[in-house]
């Protein structure tokens, strides 16, 4: 349950009760602390296998399979082959450098050359595989194994169907694996991006491996730099001329994920200006490339183009589509006709829709997931009429429902849920919100016998009184209200990137540090997504400031009310979290005393164009904002203990960020720790990652706990 803390209190009410309860319970063992062996405390949930139909599903538990009847809640054990599971008859995959398909269990080789094929993608009708090699787009006909080059001008700077770095990282997403081609539903055409990277500046990465070192280059546009020029093409899988969409590639613009109309008659293209405050959706005629404006949205701040494919969902009846937009300050669903006319808002209010799960067109209901209207640190599942009426919460209790598995026709759903003090459960629920049957509980038989550290979600009022800021705290075991305790804060920060949720977590490290006397905290600021786009907009042209203001408010609350030691306030994060950590130890040095920062941005002029300009504009139009947001501006304020780590060939957040901060700290005669990782990118595997984790552990023990590290704590 959330405790809303709106005024200062003088002590922790629960401390005495916890002390008595803990004394009567078992202490965790070294096996539990250091090997995360909690089998007596928590257990795996059953594994969902498949929906057999709208009223039956199969799950597995302890190596056995069970068939559940949703109407009655009854279940029975079934064999491995019951009910019959349809096998996938055809699939494309890579093996070495070549492509293969699995056809009815038999392996068939499709290509045989020295070039590396990437992103093999089956056509919807199963007759072709599309892929890229040497930065050209190809298809192979499965029946006759004929390979067709759909483009021929691919080079190190001309990319056909293969995205440039900034498009993959910031627009199409890492999950795309650089793929920028898309089959039409009828398999008659392929849309693709042709990218010209020739004008994009080259960034050089170097490492010390080998006699002459290692050198790698990447076309990486930093703020204000020239971006890739992109053309949108449409081509037949059998080859022929490409039809180009009617855009001028010389315009300073971005293209988002395209959508094919359900019948393949048109390609819908998302277009955005360089300022990223104007989104247009155009319909493209595949035969001529001519375009027609369908949707036009502007905002005073920015519009996110990286929508992960959920901005548009077409209705099966062909009469309309649902669109997701946060133009009102909160992300909601809107119902449009196919010619782009707004019919009605489907959802509205001060809450954020996060996913559109299903549209029941027959009964005219829309099922969606959203941050809970009652508690922004939780997720709930809802349904609402397509006309925007009869909104109903289908999930239940004071829990966060993070995994919704809906039956094929939305008659039932499975929900997995928890909160900060309750382990995960999985339950079957009807589309009326009626609980049918509990399927599994992660709480094991001995859960109540052990003395686990208390974790709770709190709310702290922001300085200006506008927001109840969320903070998840794991308190030390046997807390003494007369003692002060060091604080370890784990953050990410950034716009719409919150990490503080009312959900269950249990790890050996968490419990051990609670025993050692650390207050462990996860916290979110006003622009983290809890308070809609309305809250996120605070960060426009002003990264860093509002995060630090709200984080400082929560830390001060911990010092006043939570027995926090103001001389031992440690913050830790990676990537944007590394930026926040460095910013806290410089700009926020009067509050934060220790920090562990990894892969950190230290000045936003060093980061990529699309992400940074979305929030900050360019240095030309926001010079003061860039100066105020830079860690390098405040190095003279640094007075604590900072640990910096960076992958030497990090191609995302370049190590120049840490190098420049190090140089400034050295010039100012400041003491700090730094560890580079050879071969490391934005993270690094194997023993080097374990070395990094051990560094953090030693830092915590040296500066916060002030004692030797127990050997079992080191990896």
Provide the pLDDT confidence category of residue 162 given band limits of 50, 70 and 90: very high
Lowest average pLDDT, out of 12-16, 293-297, 406-410, goes to 12-16
The residue with greater pLDDT, 485 or 715, is 485
Kindly indicate the confidence band of residue 89, based on its pLDDT and cuts at 50, 70 and 90: low
285 pLDDT higher than 80: yes
Question: In this predicted structure, what is the pLDDT of residue 126?
Answer: 92
What pLDDT sits at residue 309? Answer: 75
- pLDDT tens string 518-545: 999 999 999 999 999 999 999 999 999 9
Helix (H) / strand (E) element for 470: namely: strand 468-474
Residue 462 has pLDDT above 70, yes or no: yes
Report if residue 530 sits inside a domain.
yes
Q: What is the percent of the chain where pLDDT is above 90? A: 91
Q: Which pLDDT does position 330 carry in this prediction?
A: 97
Residue 23 is predicted with a pLDDT of 52
Given pLDDT bands bounded at 50, 70 and 90, which one contains residue 185? very high
Taking CA atoms, 251 is separated from 223, 228, 231, 246, in Å, by 17, 10, 11, 12
State what percent of residues in the chain have pLDDT above 70: 96
**H-type helices in 380-517, by residue range?**
508-516
- CA 600/CA 148 separation, integer angstroms: 44
In a domain, 689, yes or no: yes
Q: Is the pLDDT of residue 198 over 80?
A: yes
Q: Say which CATH number the domain at 495 has.
A: 3.40.50.1820
Token look-up 């269990």 returns 105
pLDDT band at 88 (very low <50, low <70, confident <90, very high): low
Q: Which contiguous run of DSSP H or E holds residue 328?
A: none
How far apart are alpha carbons 242 and 231 in whole angstroms?
11
**Residue 592: HSE in the Cβ half-sphere, 13 Å Cα cutoff:** 30
- How large is the average pLDDT for residues 247-270? 97
- Is 318 among the domain residues? no
Whether this model's pTM surpasses 0.85: yes
pLDDT band (50, 70, 90) for residue 86: low
Residue 42 included in any domain: no
The boundaries of the domain holding residue 479 are: 3-37+451-713
Q: What is the pLDDT of residue 24?
A: 79
Mean pLDDT for the stretch of residues 69-80? 92
pLDDT for the residue 7: 36
Give residue 14's pLDDT.
41
Confirm whether 172 is domain-assigned. no
Does residue 489 lie in a domain region? yes
Reported as a single tens digit per residue, the pLDDT across 692-712 is 999 999 999 999 999 999 999
CA 246, CA 134: separation in Å to the nearest integer?
26
Q: Does residue 601 sit within a domain? A: yes
Do you know the residue count of the chain? 715
* Domains identified in the chain, total number: 1
Q: What local confidence, expressed as pLDDT, does residue 392 receive?
A: 97
Of 373, 353, 400, 384, the closest CA to residue 533 belongs to 353
Examine residue 501 and state whether it is found in any structural domain, yes or no: yes
Per-residue confidence at 2, pLDDT binned at 50, 70, 90?
very low
């Amino acid at each position: 349950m959330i405790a809303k803390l709106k005024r200062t209190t003088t002590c922790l009410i629960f401390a005495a009760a916890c002390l008595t309860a803990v004394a009567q319970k078992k202490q965790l063992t070294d096996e539990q602390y250091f090997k995360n062996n909690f089998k007596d405390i928590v257990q795996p949930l059953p594994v969902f296998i498949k929906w057999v139909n709208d009223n039956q599903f199969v799950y597995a538990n302890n190596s056995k399979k069970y068939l559940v009847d949703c109407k009655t809640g009854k279940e029975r054990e079934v064999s491995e082959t019951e009910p019959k599971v349809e096998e996938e008859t055809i699939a494309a995959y890579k093996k070495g450098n070549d492509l293969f398909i699995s056809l009815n269990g038999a392996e068939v080789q499709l290509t045989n050359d020295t070039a590396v094929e990437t992103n093999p993608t089956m056509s919807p009708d199963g007759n072709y595989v599309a892929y890229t090699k040497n930065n050209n787009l190809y298809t192979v006909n499965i029946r006759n194994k004929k390979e067709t080059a759909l483009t021929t001008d691919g080079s190190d700077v001309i990319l056909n169907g293969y995205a440039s770095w900034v498009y993959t990282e910031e627009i199409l997403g890492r999950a795309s694996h650089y793929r920028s081609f898309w089959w039409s539903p009828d398999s008659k055409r392929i849309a693709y991006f042709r990218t010209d990277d020739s004008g994009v500046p080259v960034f050089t990465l170097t490492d010390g491996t080998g006699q002459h070192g290692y050198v790698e280059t990447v076309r990486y546009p930093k703020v204000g730099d020239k971006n890739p020029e992109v053309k949108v093409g449409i081509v037949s899988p059998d080859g022929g001329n490409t039809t180009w969409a009617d855009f001028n590639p010389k315009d300073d613009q971005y293209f988002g994920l395209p959508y094919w109309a359900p019948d393949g008659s048109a390609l819908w293209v998302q277009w955005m200006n360089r300022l990223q405050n104007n989104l247009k959706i155009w319909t493209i005629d595949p035969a001529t490339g001519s375009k027609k404006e369908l949707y036009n949205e502007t905002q005073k701040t920015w519009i996110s183009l990286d929508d992960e494919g959920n901005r548009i969902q077409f209705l099966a009846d062909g009469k309309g589509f649902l669109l997701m937009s946060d133009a009102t300050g909160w992300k909601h669903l809107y119902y449009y006709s196919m010619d782009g006319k707004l019919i009605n808002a489907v959802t509205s209010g001060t809450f954020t829709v996060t996913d559109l799960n299903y549209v029941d067109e027959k009964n005219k209901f829309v099922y969606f997931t959203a941050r809970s209207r009652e508690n922004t640190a939780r997720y709930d599942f809802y349904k609402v009429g397509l006309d925007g009426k009869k909104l109903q919460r289908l999930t239940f209790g004071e829990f966060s429902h993070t995994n919704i598995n809906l039956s094929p026709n939305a008659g039932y759903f499975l929900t997995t849920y928890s909160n900060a003090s309750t382990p995960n459960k999985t339950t079957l629920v009807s589309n009326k919100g009626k609980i049918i049957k509990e399927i599994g509980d992660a709480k094991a038989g001995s859960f109540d016998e052990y003395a686990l550290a208390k974790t709770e979600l709190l709310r702290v009022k922001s300085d200006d009184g506008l927001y109840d800021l969320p903070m998840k705290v794991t308190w030390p075991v046997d807390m003494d209200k007369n003692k002060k305790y060091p604080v370890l804060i784990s953050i990410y920060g950034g716009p719409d990137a919150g990490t503080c949720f009312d959900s269950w977590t249990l790890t050996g490290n968490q419990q051990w540090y609670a025993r050692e006397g650390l207050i462990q905290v996860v916290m979110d600021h006003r622009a983290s997504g809890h308070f809609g786009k309305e809250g996120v907009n605070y960060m426009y042209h002003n990264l860093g400031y509002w995060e630090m203001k709200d984080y400082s408010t929560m830390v001060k609350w911990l010092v006043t009310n939570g027995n926090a030691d103001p001389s031992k306030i440690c913050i830790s994060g990676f990537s944007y979290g590394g930026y926040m950590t460095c910013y806290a130890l410089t700009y926020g040095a009067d509050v934060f005393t220790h920090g562990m920062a990894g892969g950190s941005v230290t000045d936003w002029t060093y980061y990529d164009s699309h992400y940074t300009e979305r929030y900050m504009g360019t240095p030309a139009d926001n010079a003061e904002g860039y100066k105020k947001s830079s860690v390098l501006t405040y190095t003279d304020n640094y007075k604590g203990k900072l640990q910096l780590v960076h992958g030497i060939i990090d191609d995302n957040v370049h190590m120049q960020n840490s190098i420049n901060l190090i140089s400034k700290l050295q010039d100012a005669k400041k003491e700090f720790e730094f560890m580079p990782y050879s071969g490391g990118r934005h993270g690094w595997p194997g023993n080097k990652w374990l070395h990094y984790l051990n560094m953090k552990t030693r830092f915590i023990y040296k500066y916060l706990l002030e004692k030797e590290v127990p050997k079992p704590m080191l990896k």
